[in-house]
Amino acid sequence: MTTLCRLNTCRDAKRGMRKVRVEKRWIRQRHIGHGAFGEVWLEVYREQEQVVAERAVKGIQKRRMENLNIDYKRELLALAKLSRHQDLFVSLHGWYEDDDSVFLAMEYLQHGDLGNFINGGITENGARMICAQLLDGLSTMHSLGFTHRDLKPQVYLVLVPKCDGSITFLTVPNQNIFVVSAAPWWIKIGDFGTSKRIASEQTALRTQAGTRQFQAPEILGYVEEAEETSEYTNLVDIWSLGCVTHLILADTAPFANARALIDYSSGRIEFPYEALQDGGISVDGRHFVVALLNPRPSKRPTAQIALQHIWLQASPSTQAPQPKKSSKIKSTSAISPSKSQQEQLIKAPRNPEGPLAYRKPDNYFQ
């Protein structure tokens, strides 16, 4: 399939999404994935029979978005603003549309989604690097007034009821954590279809969005504290990152089912450490995950504060490996670090050899 693309690009994000038209003929190669509310295809541009450029194109059906009361311009706005941070986010090259759909032309990353690398293939140090970069991205998003609301690796499970009353699991592909390089790790955040911008006079969100397995308890209505309401903040992204981190480190979600999450959120059970302990994850690594997965959003660290956690500051040589089986951690609180731990978290100095010391190729932005 060949597309004559009259691509709209944004020259000055401060002045809005001003249309600058560029015409090229792109050839659709193959289906490469799913995003929020759209399919994603690989397209190539040829000159003299040679492929000189590649891009990922996501189609968004206008009617589907309208039926869900979602403005597709939200993703355009998010991509246009975040594309300026090329080391953290998938770049938007431009967009075009027809009567039925809007098509987003984005940077193509051949390694695909982080989900392709999970299943025990990522070391604790690799997880540390990935988490630091994700926090860098979330910190930037939040500082610009955006909340992602659907951060997750490629593959997740959905509970589907069957006719006989039993429950089965359906594996659903999705992509929004992309891999640029695995040696060393360099990842980018993408797919902002469910992102939400908070106006300057607002501090909270109300609508549900995202994948249930990675949603924070305040979105699902599991938090019972009087001060927690139907509103929620960008700290929902911190919870999602905690779920992603647990999945990378332990190869499993932190909570086996909704009942376990409800019991944890209400304080009836402590955090289930077993999977992290069985995987030999360091004490600092376990503390990091639990800090992010605090059921009380007001007690979760912001992305900027979480970046100072001692686990993220450690180089590989400073983290002693843990035995695959270890005694259960005793905790006076299921979630919150002590005051001294919080002070240590905030004051911890940056380690120049730590996970944020990754380096991009010199010619990447050329």
pLDDT band at 323 (very low <50, low <70, confident <90, very high): very low
Q: Which of 45-54, 167-176, 188-197 has the highest mean pLDDT?
A: 45-54
The DSSP bridge partners found for residue 197 are 146
Q: Which of 254, 335, 247, 347 lies closest to 291, judged by CA?
A: 335
The DSSP bridge partners found for residue 172 are 156
Q: For 91, which DSSP code?
A: P
Give the pLDDT confidence of 191-218 residue by residue, as tens digits: 764 444 443 333 333 333 334 556 677 8
Strand 20-35 versus strand 2-9 pairing type = antiparallel
Q: How far is CA 58 from CA 63, 64, 133, 319, 339, in A?
A: 15, 14, 24, 41, 46
What angle is formed at CA 171 by the lines to CA 166 and CA 250, rounded to 5 degrees? 100
Give the pLDDT confidence of 85-137 residue by residue, as tens digits: 999 998 888 888 999 998 989 999 988 888 888 876 899 999 999 999 999 99
Looking at residue 356, what is its pLDDT? 52
Tokens linked to 92: 């938007």
Token pair 């911008």 is found at 197
Which secondary-structure segment (H or E) carries 138?
helix 124-143
pLDDT band at 36 (very low <50, low <70, confident <90, very high): low
Measure the CA–CA gap between 173 and 156, rounded to whole angstroms: 7
The DSSP bridge partners found for residue 276 are none
* Lowest mean pLDDT segment, chosen from 89-98, 147-156, 285-294, 299-308: 147-156
pTM to 2 decimals?
0.73
Query: Is the CB of residue 25 less than 8 Å from the CB of residue 4?
Result: yes
Looking at residue 222, what is its pLDDT? 65
What average pLDDT is seen over the chain? 73
Looking at residue 43, what is its pLDDT? 95
In whole angstroms, what separates CA 203 from the centre of its chain? 21
Spell out the domains of the chain, with CATH numbers in brackets: 29-106 (3.30.200.20), 114-357 (1.10.510.10)
Q: Which of 31, 52, 51 lies closest to 42, judged by CA?
A: 31
Stated length of the chain: 366
The b/e string for 40-79 (b: 16+ C-beta within 10 A; e otherwise) is bbbbeeeeeeeeeeebbbbbbeeeebeeeebebebbbbbb
Looking at residue 311, what is its pLDDT? 97
